[in-house]
Structure 1
Amino acid sequence: MIEFTLPSMGADMDEGTLLEWKVKPGDAVKRGQVVAVVDTSKAAVDVECWQEGVVDELITQPGEKIPVGTPMAILLEPGEAPRAVAPTQGAARPRADSGQLTPTEAIAATTTPRRKISPAARRYAQEHHIDLDAITGTGPQGSVALDDVRQIIARAAAPMPTAPAVDRIAEMRKVIASAMEHSKREIPHYYASETIPLGKALGWLAAENAKRSIGERLLPVVLLLKAVAVTLKRFPELNGFYREGAFAAAQKVNVGVAISLRQGGLIAPALLDTDIKPLTQIMHELMDLTTRCRAGSLKSSELSEPTITVTNLGEQGATEVFGVIYPPQVALVGFGRIAERPWAESGGLKVMPAVTASLSADHRVSDGHRGALFLLELSEALQHPEEWDR
């Protein structure tokens, strides 16, 4: 038997509201399958299940608000028999005189009692195509009554209560502030920055885009994301989690991308395996992630699996940004606006496109020397994008 619980989808999530089940009792569930939709303060999230099994019972009902870690459903492991129903009062017991059961008593003891459902409830459920197995009975000994079926139908027909947009924004600001307050209070931050010339990288990008159709062209941000991911392979102390007083390096590089929402606030879902994907794939996934993020349609794994976060201010941002670490991560990389700057090189002065990269890191895990080396190697990686676009 497996308990399926509401997963944590970030340090700023304490609870969620179940909007919809995508499965019902008796359904087989595979790893990675979306089984429910849960509303958080930021978005409606498709919740995946990472165990295989068969749904035995749905504990939480749509509309319920539940804390993270609360059991939502019971799954049976592959090959596991359904849970036995407790015998009703008066079920046969061994005879006291011989310790044996009569044939009639043996049949009574080994037969699973039928679930009690009133005829009216059964008929009403059939008329409205309601699965009786998904209903928790409130009658004597758990029997299903007509009112139980009516309540399920009324709950399904009633529109889900939605808070006004301004309330959702206020709630989002509240949870972001709480997470960042926790981060600044608990994590001893240190900061480092480096201005990186991008003449070679943007020249390579322009030549690469000239060979592509408009729909396949790359944006400079994908170079920055891939360069961070590639460089992290040599700095594992910046890629992982600090939990319960100890650091655990992540086995993958899943870059969380800070995406601003049109109504305010931001979400930082993960681009999974960023270090091993080609730029074209990263570009496609980034565009898809941004679209779904702003539409409020994300997967739980995309919110729970970032191993580091990157914030990129883009063309309309400031030239520098120093972010706050998103716990339990231990580092955040920031990129300001790419802008032309005076650049001294080989004894001469010229104009060069450049970007200021910053690192916010956890002093419990790394120190300023390693942080500075990371930024220098990041700068070197961006001089040779042709070497890691594969």
Structure 2
Amino acid sequence: MPKLGLTMTEGLIVEWMVKPGDVVQSGQTLFVVETDKISNEIEAPSAGTILRLLIEEGGTAAVGAPVAMWTGPAQGQSGPVQPESVDTSALIPVTTVVEAIPPSAKSQRPLCTPFARRLAQQAGIDLATINGSGARGRIRACDIQATVERSAAPALQPVGKGRTPQRERDLRSLIAARVSRSKAEVPHFYLSAGVRSDALAALRGELNTDPRSPRKLSITAFLGLAVGKALLLHPEANVVWRDDRAQPLEDGIAVGIAVEAPGGVMAPVVPIGSGLYDFAASLDAAIDRARRGRMGATDNGAAAIGISNVGMFNVHSLTPIIDPDQSFMLGVGAPRTVFRADENNLPVAAQEMTLNLACDHRAIDGAAAARFLATIVEMIERPVRLLLPVV
């Protein structure tokens, strides 16, 4: 089981793309592993033959634990894994929920991966109507997504009252464990600020109506770039707490973006890039991968901060939980009309958003975090700075 994130401890195998006896080539997809953040296809590092699957679909294994045996080299070894050399102490027992299906019905039950079955339940799709693209006609998650897109169905709905998950250790359980650990281990403190968004809305409207604009820009694109440029001006904030110290992130500036996706919230990490449209293109692509359940290792990079924007739900304020891999989480609320005094001390209507910044007190102190948030506010209130180089 590969380690796909700094704090990943276990992964859920949602789909095997091979079976015992299959001869595989270097780069061929072996299985799909799901964490609380991503669903990632794991490829064969070299050619070999699959001998045995140690973890079934729907099973969980700790990072570093063997999930299969083959004739190719194992990690850190020059030859194939021998059965007597496999340490099974790191394996986590499969604890799936077995549905009460009559024996006569089991033989007619469509072959389906646990992940795809859960997506189908959430979308209200009858599995009997789908032709699976997997081995022996097995229905995969991509088949469910394709069906949803073809039928122009609305966004997948969360599991409702009375609906039973197909397995106990699904994505929801992993997310629960992650946020619980964050609240238990990370000493949160919070900063809040109101930010005028009139100028940002005006700039966005002008750019989006200009026929020379290469793409439509979302509010989140502006927010992400504002946060990224603030990190450039405050390198003391571009850190994460690791090994009992604040470690600077030296591989550039990136921002995590919370995305509502089937099965739970995903948070792809998006590099800032060289400008607004460059960042917006990377952001749109990452959001699309997250919603299709196709996030990969490139979406799980290092970032000091994540953004959770709930403004589209007309929610005015969000107090977020920090991702354990990061040091900040910025909650963004919906713009609302307020009255503020102008230069003549007369009331004027203005658009204002509420920003709530959750901070890891181990990585940063209050004064430094306040300066960082103040710069984010300034970037949003003077959005022309987002189009200029950082000086």
Assess same fold via TM > 0.5.
Answer: yes
Find out whether 1:197 has 2:190 as its counterpart: no
Distance 2:78 2:10 in 1: 32
Deviation by residue 1:43-71 (Cα, 9 ceiling, x = unmatched): 6423478xxx6445668738353222225
Query: Residue 207 and residue 82 in structure 1: after superposition, are their counterparts in 2 closer, same or farther (change >3 A)?
Result: same
Distance 1:9 1:288, change over 3 A: same
Amino acid at match of 1:332: M
Contact 2:197 2:353 in 1 (8 A): yes
Which residues in structure 2 correspond to 1:119-134 (within 5 Å)?
A: none
1:19 paired with 2:20, answer no
Question: Could you tell which deviates more after superposition, 185-194 or 161-170?
Answer: 161-170
CA contact under 8 A between 1:17 and 1:40: conserved in structure 2? no
1:315 match: secondary structure: helix
Deviation at 1:359, TM superposition (A): 1.1
Q: Confirm or deny that 1:67 pairs with 2:62.
A: yes
Does the aligned pair in 2 maintain the 1:308–1:330 contact within 8 Å?
yes
Give 1 or 2 for the bigger CA radius of gyration.
Answer: 1
Structure 1 position 287, deviation (Å): 2.7
In structure 2, give the amino acid aligned to 1:312.
N
SS of the counterpart of 1:216?
A: coil
For residue 12 of structure 1, report the CA deviation from its aligned partner: 6.8
- Conserved? CA contact 1:240–1:250, under 8 Å: yes
8 Å CA contact 1:240–1:307 kept in 2: the answer is: yes
Question: Distance between the aligned counterparts of 2:380 and 2:202, measured in 1?
Answer: 11
- Does 1:217 find its partner at 2:216? yes
Contact 2:14 2:113 (C-alpha < 8 Å) held by counterparts: no
* Residue 355 of structure 2 corresponds to residue 357 of structure 1: yes
Q: Deviations over 1:4-57 (max 9, x none)?
A: x422347476222162458x867445xxx97642244676423478xxx64456
Counterpart in the other structure of 1:121? none
8 A contact 1:48–1:300 mirrored in 2: no
Per-residue CA distance 1:201-247 (angstroms, 9 max, x = gap): 22222222221379822122211110001101233343332223222
Q: How does 1:1-390 map to 2 (within 5 A)?
A: 5-9=1-5, 11=7, 14-17=10-13, 19-21=15-17, 27-28=25-26, 36-40=31-35, 44-47=39-42, 54-55=46-47, 61=53, 63=56, 65=59, 66-71=61-66, 83=79, 159-161=112-114, 162-163=117-118, 165=122, 166=163, 167=165, 171-212=170-211, 216-251=215-250, 252-261=252-261, 265-271=264-270, 273-274=271-272, 276-348=273-345, 349-389=347-387
The CA distance in 2 between the partners of 1:270 and 1:60, in whole Å, is 35
Whole-angstrom CA distance in 2 between matches of 1:85 and 1:332: 42
- Listed as ranges, the gaps of 5+ residues in structure 1 are 87-156
User: Residue by residue, what CA displacement relative to the aligned partner does 1:140-174 show, whole Å, maximum 9, x if unpaired?
Assistant: xxxxxxxxxxxxxxxxx964344555516974333
Q: Deviations over 1:263-291 (max 9, x none)?
A: 6x3111111x22x3422233333333223
Which amino acid letter does the alignment assign opposite residue 178 of structure 1?
A: A
Q: Quick one: distance in 1 between partners of 2:246 and 2:332?
A: 26
Stretches of structure 2 that go unaligned for 5 or more consecutive residues are 83-109, 123-162
SS, match of residue 387 in structure 2? coil
SS at match of 1:337: coil
Secondary structure at the aligned position of 2:340 is classed as strand
Aligned residue in 1 for 2:147: none
- The offset of 1:321, in angstroms, is 1.3
The one-character-per-residue Cα deviations of 1:81-139 (angstroms, maximum 9, x if unpaired) are 974999xxxxxxxxxxxxxxxxxxxxxxxxxxxxxxxxxxxxxxxxxxxxxxxxxxxxx
Percent sequence identity over matched residues?
Answer: 21
How many angstroms does 1:336 deviate by?
A: 0.9
Residues 338 and 219 of structure 1, relative CA distance in 2, 3 Å threshold: same
Equivalent pair of 1:239/1:331 in contact (CA under 8 Å): no
| Alpha carbons 2:195, 2:355 under 8 Å: kept | yes
User: Is the 8 Å Cα contact of residues 16 and 32 (structure 2) preserved in structure 1?
Assistant: yes
State the alpha-carbon separation in 2 of the partners of residues 67 and 184 from structure 1: 22
Change (3 A) 1:55 1:346: farther
Tell me the secondary structure at the aligned position of residue 260 of structure 1. strand
Q: What TM-score do you get using the length of structure 1 for normalisation?
A: 0.66
3-state SS of the aligned residue for 2:320?
coil
- The offset of 1:192, in angstroms, is 0.5
Cα 1:217–1:158 shift into 2, 3 Å: closer
Residue 120 of structure 1 is matched in structure 2 by: none
Residues paired across the two proteins, number: 305
Determine if contact 1:38/1:45 at 8 Å carries over to the other structure: yes
After superposing the two structures, state which structure 1 stretch, 225-234 or 350-359, moved more.
350-359
Give the aligned residue type for 1:219: S
Conserved? CA contact 1:13–1:175, under 8 Å: no
Tell me, in whole angstroms, the C-alpha distance in 1 between the residues paired with 2:51 and 2:362: 40
Partners of 1:234 and 1:59 lie apart in 2 by: 53
State whether residues 47 and 300 of structure 1, in contact with CA within 8 Å, keep that contact through their aligned partners in structure 2: no
Asked if structure 2 preserves the Cα contact closer than 8 Å seen for 1:324 and 1:332, the reply is yes
